[in-house]
C-alpha cells in the first residue's frame, strides 16, 4: 500500500525552482570540501517523531490520524508503520533513520514478549533496509515512557529497575548490531532528580557509571563496531538531568574512566535549554575530540521547553557547519532530525516540507561555512588574536618556562597592556557578506 500518495521522490531542483516539494540547496551528489553533501550530512529521519508523532500535547490528545496507525493489533500497526516509514525515507531521499526499540515494536505483556516483538520487527526491518538501501544511523532503548522508569533507569534507587533497563539495552544493542547500525545512543531519559530530599546524588552517579561500563563490556562482547554516544540534556523530564550539557558529560566520563568509550550526540534544542548555543555545545564536544553525532533541531526562544522544531535558521546552520567542517566531519555520526511537526501541521505532506526545509538550511549552511573556511578571514583573525602566545613571554607561558614570580617582574617592566578590539560587529558583518552570496 502507498501511504504518501501523490508525492514522488523529492529531487534537487535548485534555488530557482518554485516547487515546494523539491530541494533548493541539498544536492546529494554535489561535492563540497572534498565530499558529497550526502556524505557530509548522513541525514537521518527520527522514527519516533515522524512515524509515531501524533500531534498530542499536554492539553490535547493526538490529532494527526495517520493511515498507518489503523490495524487489528499493535503488531499489525507496527508493520504498517514500518512500511510507511521506508516509503517516506525513500521518497525523501535520506540515507539513514534512527529508532528507539519501542518505536518499531510494541511492548508486550511481559519482557519476553516485548523482546520477541522487537526481534520479529527487526527481521522485517532488515528486509526493508535491504530492499531500499536505507541504513540505520543509530538505535537506542526507550527507558523513560513506561511507568516502571518513573524514578530513572540506571540511576533508579531500585536495582530491579536497573536490571530491567540493562536487559532492554542489551536487546536494543543486539538489534542495532543486527541491522548494521553505525552508532548506539544513550539519552538520559529520567536519569536525574526532582528533589535532593529523596536523592543520593553520589550513589546515582556511581550507578550510572556502572550502567555505562556494562554497556561497554556488552558492546565488546558481541563485537558491535558502532560508536556509543551520550546525548546531553539539562532538564525535562526531570528537573535536573545528570547529562546536563557537553561539559558535564565530559567530566563524568573522565571521572569514571569512560572517556575513550563514548562520544557525544549534540542536540540543538538541548543546548539552548542548558543556556548555551548549539555552536557552543558542538565546540565543547569537538574540542575534546568527542563530537560524534548531531540531533538536528531547534527550540523556540520564547518557549522554555524542548519544542523539537525543524531548524530553518541559516545562521545556526552556518555556525554548526563551521564546527563540523573544522573537525573533518562526524565519522560514523550524522544529522538526525530529532524534530516534530507543530500540532497544527496535520497534512502528510507537512512531513516532507519540514524535512526538506531543514535539509536545505543545513546544505546552505554547509556551502556558506565552506566559503568562510576557504577564505580564512575568521581563522586569520583568531590566529592573529592569540599570536602573542607564539613568541616571547606568551610562548614561555605555554611552554611552562615562566612562573608567577617571573611574570610579576615582567609586568613591573612592561606596565599596562593595550586593549585590542575584539571586533565582534565587524565579524558579524563579514558573516552576512557570505550569507548574501548564496
Q: Which residues bind ligand XUL (CB under 6 A)?
A: 100, 140, 185, 187, 231, 233, 267, 295, 306, 338
Q: Please state, in angstroms and as integers, the Cα–Cα distance from residue 91 to each residue in 43, 121, 227, 237, 355, following that order.
A: 14, 22, 28, 34, 11
100 is catalytic: yes
Q: Please state, in angstroms and as integers, the Cα–Cα distance from residue 151 to each residue in 142, 148, 190, 230, following that order.
A: 14, 8, 7, 19
Closer by beta carbon to ligand XUL, 49 or else 66: 49
3-state SS track over 305-319: CCCCECCCCHHHHHH
Do 324 and 330 contact (CB within 8 A), yes or no?
yes
Closer by beta carbon to ligand XUL, 32 or else 311: 311
Ranges within 289-308 binding Co ion (CB under 5 A): 295
For the CB of residue 293, give the shortest distance to ligand XUL in the complex, in Å: 10
For the CB of residue 167, give the shortest distance to ligand XUL in the complex, in Å: 18
**Integer Cα distance of 308 and 305 in angstroms:** 9
For the CB of residue 236, give the shortest distance to ligand XUL in the complex, in Å: 7
In the numeric block, which cell numbers belong to residue 78? 507496527
User: Does residue 245 bind Co ion (CB under 5 A)?
Assistant: no
165 binds, among ligand XUL, Co ion, none (CB under 5 to 8 A by kind): none
306 binds, among Co ion, ligand XUL, none (CB under 5 to 8 A by kind): ligand XUL
**Integer Cα distance of 41 and 30 in angstroms:** 12
Q: Please state, in angstroms and as integers, the Cα–Cα distance from residue 390 to each residue in 136, 332, 385, following that order.
A: 45, 35, 11
Closer by beta carbon to Co ion, 10 or else 169: 169
- 327 closest CA partner among 298, 297, 376, 290: 290
User: Does residue 338 bind Co ion (CB under 5 A)?
Assistant: yes
For the CB of residue 30, give the shortest distance to ligand XUL in the complex, in Å: 28
Closer by beta carbon to ligand XUL, 140 or else 227: 140
103 is catalytic: yes
Closer by beta carbon to ligand XUL, 245 or else 306: 306
Closer by beta carbon to Co ion, 245 or else 295: 295
In the numeric block, which cell numbers belong to residue 203? 550513589
**Integer Cα distance of 249 and 242 in angstroms:** 8
For the CB of residue 57, give the shortest distance to ligand XUL in the complex, in Å: 15
Q: Give the CB-nearest residue to ligand XUL.
A: 187
Residue 401, number of CB atoms within 10 A of its CB: 10
* Options 49, 101, 103, 355, the catalytic residue: 103
- 183 closest CA partner among 289, 262, 115: 262
Q: Which of 28, 103, 267, 370 is in the footprint of Co ion by CB under 5 A? A: 267
Contacting range for Co ion; rule: CB under 5 A; set: 22-30, 261-269, 380-388, 410-418: 261-269
Contacting range for Co ion; rule: CB under 5 A; set: 165-173, 217-225, 338-346, 392-400: 338-346
Where does 278-391 have alpha helices with state H?
Answer: 278-287, 314-326, 348-375, 377-385
What is the set of active-site residues?
Answer: 100, 103
Binding site for Co ion (CB under 5 A): 267, 295, 338
Amino acid at each position: 500500500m502507498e501511504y504518501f500518495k501523490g508525492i514522488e521522490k523529492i529531487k534537487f531542483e535548485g534555488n530557482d525552482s518554485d516547487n515546494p516539494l523539491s530541494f533548493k540547496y541539498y544536492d546529494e551528489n554535489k561535492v563540497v570540501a572534498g565530499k558529497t553533501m550526502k556524505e557530509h550530512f548522513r541525514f537521518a529521519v527520527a522514527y519516533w517523531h515522524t512515524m509515531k508523532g501524533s500531534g498530542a500535547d499536554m492539553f490535547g490528545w493526538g490529532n494527526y490520524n495517520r493511515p498507518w496507525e489503523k490495524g487489528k493489533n499493535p503488531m499489525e500497526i507496527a508493520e504498517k508503520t514500518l512500511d510507511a516509514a521506508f516509503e517516506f525515507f525513500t521518497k525523501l531521499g535520506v540515507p539513514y533513520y534512527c529508532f528507539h526499540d519501542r518505536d518499531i515494536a510494541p511492548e508486550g505483556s511481559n519482557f519476553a514478549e516485548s523482546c520477541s516483538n522487537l526481534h520479529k520487527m527487526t527481521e522485517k526491518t532488515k528486509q526493508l533496509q535491504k530492499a531500499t538501501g536505507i541504513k540505520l544511523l543509530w538505535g537506542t532503548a526507550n527507558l523513560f515512557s513506561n511507568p516502571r522508569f518513573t524514578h530513572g533507569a540506571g540511576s533508579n534507587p531500585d536495582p530491579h529497575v536497573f536490571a530491567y533497563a540493562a536487559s532492554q539495552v542489551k536487546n536494543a544493542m543486539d538489534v542495532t548490531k543486527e541491522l548494521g547500525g553505525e552508532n548506539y545512543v544513550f539519552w538520559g531519559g529520567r536519569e536525574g532528580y526532582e528533589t535532593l530530599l529523596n536523592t543520593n546524588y553520589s550513589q546515582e552517579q556511581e550507578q550510572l557509571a556502572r550502567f555505562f561500563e556494562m554497556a561497554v563490556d556488552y558492546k565488546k562482547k558481541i563485537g558491535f563496531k558502532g560508536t556509543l554516544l551520550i546525548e546531553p540534556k539539562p532538564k525535562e523530564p526531570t528537573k535536573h538531568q545528570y547529562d546536563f550539557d557537553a561539559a558535564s558529560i565530559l567530566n563524568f566520563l573522565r571521572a569514571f574512566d569512560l572517556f575513550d568509550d563514548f562520544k557525544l550526540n549534540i542536540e540543538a534544542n538541548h543546548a539552548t535549554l542548558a543556556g548555551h548555543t548549539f555552536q557552543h555545545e558542538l565546540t565543547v564536544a569537538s574540542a575534546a575530540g568527542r563530537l560524534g553525532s548531531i540531533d538536528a533541531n531547534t527550540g523556540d526562544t520564547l518557549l522554555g521547553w524542548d519544542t523539537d522544531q525543524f531548524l530553518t535558521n541559516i545562521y545556526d546552520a552556518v555556525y554548526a557547519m563551521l564546527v563540523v567542517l573544522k573537525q573533518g566531519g562526524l565519522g560514523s555520526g550524522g544529522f538526525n532530525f530529532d524534530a516534530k511537526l507543530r500540532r497544527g501541521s496535520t497534512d502528510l505532506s507537512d512531513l516532507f516540507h519540514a524535512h526538506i526545509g531543514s535539509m536545505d538550511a543545513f546544505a546552505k549552511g554547509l556551502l556558506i561555512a565552506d566559503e568562510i573556511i576557504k577564505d580564512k578571514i575568521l581563522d586569520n583573525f583568531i590566529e592573529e588574536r592569540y599570536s602573542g602566545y607564539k613568541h616571547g613571554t606568551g610562548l614561555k607561558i605555554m611552554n611552562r618556562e615562566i612562573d608567577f614570580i617571573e611574570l610579576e617582574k615582567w609586568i613591573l617592566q612592561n606596565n599596562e597592556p593595550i586593549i585590542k578590539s575584539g571586533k565582534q560587529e565587524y565579524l558579524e558583518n563579514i558573516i552576512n557578506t557570505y550569507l548574501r552570496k548564496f
